[in-house]
């Protein structure tokens, strides 16, 4: 039996039950009629249902499918799993594999990929990695603050200008000057953790003076790479494999770099005894908080406070961000004061002599792409006056566009048709090879991807729970000449470095300057850093939804908060 074929053949009610909503099917029906397309319905239902593995794993979805099958098909299932009652049985590993074989679902363990995934938590890093002049100046200024009596500073550099590389040089200098010290790099999300870890391994192999452990503390890391043991055997004071097996942060750890997701570290800290917490904190001499505008959130602020020494010598703290504030359209700057205070009222902003804004210099000299901005205005969405009034009220009462409104926009046939047509022109007529679309919902990302496939575009989708997320991203980053489009929801705003991206479509409206900057930043890598000379940023504009601000205005949106607290 073929699961995809069965999902296409079962009745509409069962299809809607498996995906928990009838609206996606209605939207696809409307779009396919307007474009005269034959959308593979079985594949679409499978993806909307979470994928073949999820449909067979979930008892509700599995039983919905089984109930819609013919008697002889249900008998075949019963024989396959050796169960008389196929609606009530324990899904053991053997039965799961049997169902996968019966329904022609590929076993994940048999999947191969050209790229080897290093899923280790601990690796040892042993000692051609330079800085541009503007990065070097920012580094020196930051180091001056960190060497002062108040060793805290916020580093503000535009997206794409190299704040991670600049920070890695700072880390290397700090480690080389301090033979026994522990640095903690904090950030939210595994993509940013992965990016920081890869960048540190590369930078330290060129800049480092001794082998040190790199500890990866985020959700999908486990075990100890053999490289750790081979490298660290020369260090008498390094924790052993047994130490790391007992705790991902052993008490014996006094030298190295920890890259941690905030949620994983917060969870680990909750298991520490007060005395052990003190021992670990006393070894930390520098904290780097990436995407530092998040640092004053109560749960994340607690992580910093747990790691910082309350007395001298003070633990040094540096924040990295392209948006040094938490401002939304129409919002007050008052909410930024806490962030300013956390970093000691000390602020390093990328400055270029002769330029009002560093963005202009970076574009002119090829560090950032020359960005063409376009508004894709959506018309005739047929929202009633009452609906529009409700949208405006909800947005005004929220810090951002609420999820329920995003989902409504994602179900608009008119809106989706215009997005598909614009993506089609980007790839088929304008020659863009890497296009990234920020969708308003998971369902919209899946549907738009499938519609584009039907018109001959190599498209994929990713969201927080998509099972092939890593594979999709690796293929998108591949150094080939095939045009690829990713529709995504809720991911790829940060920690996603794909310099070849030359077109970004923001179809997810937001009032957050921070989120807008992050989405726009995916398309602005210049040719000097492996990107493009030119790029295009398309903002989908819905009726009375705020539009994207200018990149220069974004970069300077938070200047006033820091200027006031720094006395000019």
Q: Is there a domain that residue 143 lies in?
A: no
63 and 94 both lie in a single domain: yes
Q: With contact defined as beta carbons under 8 Å apart, do 376 and 545 qualify?
A: no
What pLDDT does 222 receive? 78
Residue 113 in this model has a pLDDT that exceeds 60: no
Q: Strand 503-506 vs strand 484-489: parallel, antiparallel, or unpaired?
A: unpaired
Residues 6 or more apart whose CB falls under 8 angstroms from that of 103 comprise 1, 2, 3, 6, 52, 56
Q: Is there a domain that residue 336 lies in?
A: no
Tens of pLDDT, residue by residue over 508-535, are: 887 666 666 667 667 677 887 777 888 8
Spell out the long-range contacts of 303-307 with Cβ–Cβ below 8 A and sequence spacing 24 or more: 303/186, 303/262, 303/265, 303/266, 303/269, 304/186, 304/342, 306/269, 306/277, 306/281, 307/184, 307/281
382 and 299 both lie in a single domain: no
210 and 63 both lie in a single domain: no
Q: Is there a domain that residue 344 lies in?
A: no
497 φ/ψ sector (left φ>0, alpha ψ -120 to 50, else beta) = beta
Q: Which residue has the tokens 């053999």?
A: 226
Alpha carbon separation from 33 to 21, 118, 125, 194 (Å, rounded) = 20, 45, 56, 42
423 and 490 both lie in a single domain: yes
Alpha carbon separation from 1 to 61, 75, 90, 144 (Å, rounded) = 17, 12, 22, 68
Alpha carbon separation from 343 to 150, 282, 288 (Å, rounded) = 9, 20, 11
322 and 175 both lie in a single domain: yes
Token output for 161: 């200008």
Token output for 332: 């007050």
Alpha carbon dihedral 380, 386, 388, 389, in 10-degree steps, equals 160
Nearest CA among 461, 426, 439 for reference residue 534: 426
Residue 139 in this model has a pLDDT that exceeds 50: yes
Token output for 408: 């409504």
Q: Is there a domain that residue 85 lies in?
A: yes
What pLDDT does 408 receive? 86
384 and 484 both lie in a single domain: yes
Nearest CA among 296, 225, 308 for reference residue 269: 308
> How many whole angstroms separate alpha carbon 447 and alpha carbon 30?
12
Average pLDDT over residues 100-106: 89
Q: With contact defined as beta carbons under 8 Å apart, do 509 and 545 qualify?
A: yes
Q: Is there a domain that residue 447 lies in?
A: yes
72 and 183 both lie in a single domain: no
What pLDDT does 75 receive? 92
> How many whole angstroms separate alpha carbon 413 and alpha carbon 28?
8
Average pLDDT over residues 23-37: 89
> How many whole angstroms separate alpha carbon 426 and alpha carbon 433?
9
> How many whole angstroms separate alpha carbon 524 and alpha carbon 98?
48
What pLDDT does 400 receive? 65
Token output for 240: 């052993």
Exposure string over 109-129, b if 16+ CB within 10 A, otherwise e: eeeeeeeeeeebbbbbbeeee
What pLDDT does 55 receive? 92
87 and 126 both lie in a single domain: no
247 and 203 both lie in a single domain: yes
* The length of the chain, given as a count of residues: 568
C-alpha distance across the termini of the chain, in Å:
71
Residue 163 in this model has a pLDDT that exceeds 80: yes
22 and 96 both lie in a single domain: yes
Q: Is there a domain that residue 19 lies in?
A: yes
Tens of pLDDT, residue by residue over 252-310, are: 899 999 999 998 999 999 999 988 988 899 899 999 998 887 777 788 888 998 998 76
Distance from CA of residue 57 to its chain's centroid?
Answer: 26
48 and 69 both lie in a single domain: yes
Residue 457 in this model has a pLDDT that exceeds 90: yes
CATH number for position 425:
3.40.50.300
Mean pLDDT of the chain: 83
pLDDT bin (cut points 50, 70, 90) of residue 142 is very high
What pLDDT does 527 receive? 83
Distance from CA of residue 65 to its chain's centroid?
Answer: 33
Q: Is there a domain that residue 65 lies in?
A: yes
What pLDDT does 546 receive? 44
Q: Strand 152-156 vs strand 316-321: parallel, antiparallel, or unpaired?
A: parallel
Q: With contact defined as beta carbons under 8 Å apart, do 73 and 1 qualify?
A: yes
Tens of pLDDT, residue by residue over 199-215, are: 899 899 999 999 999 99
User: What's the total number of domains in the chain?
Assistant: 3
Tens of pLDDT, residue by residue over 490-504, are: 777 655 667 788 898
Q: Strand 484-489 vs strand 434-438: parallel, antiparallel, or unpaired?
A: parallel
Containing structural domain, residue 101: 3-110
> How many whole angstroms separate alpha carbon 156 and alpha carbon 562?
11
Residues 6 or more apart whose CB falls under 8 angstroms from that of 516 comprise 506, 510, 548, 549, 554
Q: Which residue has the tokens 């002049």?
A: 133
Q: Is there a domain that residue 117 lies in?
A: no
Residues 6 or more apart whose CB falls under 8 angstroms from that of 373 comprise 536, 537, 539, 548
261 and 374 both lie in a single domain: no
């Amino acid at each position: 039996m073929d699961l995809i074929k069965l999902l296409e053949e079962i009745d509409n009610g069962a299809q809607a039950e498996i995906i928990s909503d009838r609206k996606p099917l209605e939207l696809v029906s409307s779009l396919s009629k307007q474009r005269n397309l034959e959308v593979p319905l079985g594949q679409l239902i499978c993806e909307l249902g979470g994928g073949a593995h999820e449909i067979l794993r979930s008892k509700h979805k599995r039983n919905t499918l089984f109930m819609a099958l013919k008697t002889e098909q249900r008998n075949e299932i019963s024989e396959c799993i050796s169960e008389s009652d196929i609606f009530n049985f324990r899904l053991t590993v053997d039965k799961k594999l049997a169902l996968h074989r019966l329904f022609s679902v590929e076993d994940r363990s048999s999947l191969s990929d050209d790229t080897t995934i290093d899923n280790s938590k601990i690796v040892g890093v042993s000692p051609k990695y330079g800085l541009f002049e503007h990065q070097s100046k920012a580094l020196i200024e930051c180091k001056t603050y960190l060497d002062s009596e108040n060793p805290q500073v916020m580093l503000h550099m535009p997206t794409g200008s190299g704040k991670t590389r600049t920070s890695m040089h700072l880390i290397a200098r700090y480690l080389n000057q301090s033979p026994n010290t522990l640095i903690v790099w904090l950030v939210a999300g595994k993509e940013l953790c992965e990016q920081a870890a890869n960048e540190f391994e590369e930078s330290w192999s060129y800049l480092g003076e001794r082998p040190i452990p790199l500890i990866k503390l985020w959700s999908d890391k486990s075990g100890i790479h053999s490289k750790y043991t081979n490298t660290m055997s020369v260090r008498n004071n390094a924790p052993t494999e047994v130490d790391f097996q007992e705790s991902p942060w052993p008490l014996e750890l006094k030298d190295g770099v920890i890259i941690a997701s905030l949620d994983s570290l917060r969870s680990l800290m909750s298991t520490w005894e007060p005395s052990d917490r003190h021992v670990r904190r006393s070894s930390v001499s520098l904290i780097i908080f990436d995407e530092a505008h998040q640092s004053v959130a109560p749960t994340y602020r607690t992580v910093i406070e747990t790691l910082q020494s309350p007395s001298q010598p003070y633990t040094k703290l540096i924040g990295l961000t392209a948006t040094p504030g938490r401002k939304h359209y129409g919002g007050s700057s008052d909410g930024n004061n806490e962030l300013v205070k956390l970093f000691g009222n000390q602020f390093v902003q990328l400055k270029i002599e002769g330029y009002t804004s560093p963005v202009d210099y970076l574009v002119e000299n090829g560090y950032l792409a020359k960005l063409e901005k376009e508004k894709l205005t959506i018309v005739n969405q047929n929202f009633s006056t009452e609906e529009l009034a409700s949208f405006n009220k909800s947005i005004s009462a929220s810090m951002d566009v609420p999820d329920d409104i995003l989902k409504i926009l994602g179900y608009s046939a008119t809106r989706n048709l215009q997005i598909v047509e614009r993506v089609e022109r980007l790839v088929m007529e304008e020659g863009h090879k890497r296009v990234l679309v920020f969708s308003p919902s998971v369902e919209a990302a899946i549907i738009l991807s499938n519609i584009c496939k039907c018109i001959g575009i190599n498209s994929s989708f990713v969201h927080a729970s998509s099972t092939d997320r890593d594979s999709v991203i690796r293929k998108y980053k591949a150094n080939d000449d095939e045009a690829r489009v990713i529709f995504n929801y809720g991911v790829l705003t940060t920690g996603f470095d794909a310099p070849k991206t030359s077109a970004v479509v923001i179809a997810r409206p937001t009032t957050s300057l921070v989120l807008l900057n992050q989405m726009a930043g995916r398309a602005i890598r210049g040719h000097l850093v492996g990107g493009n000379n030119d790029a295009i940023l398309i903002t989908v504009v819905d009726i009375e939804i705020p539009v994207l601000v200018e990149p220069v205005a974004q970069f300077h949106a938070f200047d006033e908060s820091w200027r006031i607290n720094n006395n000019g």
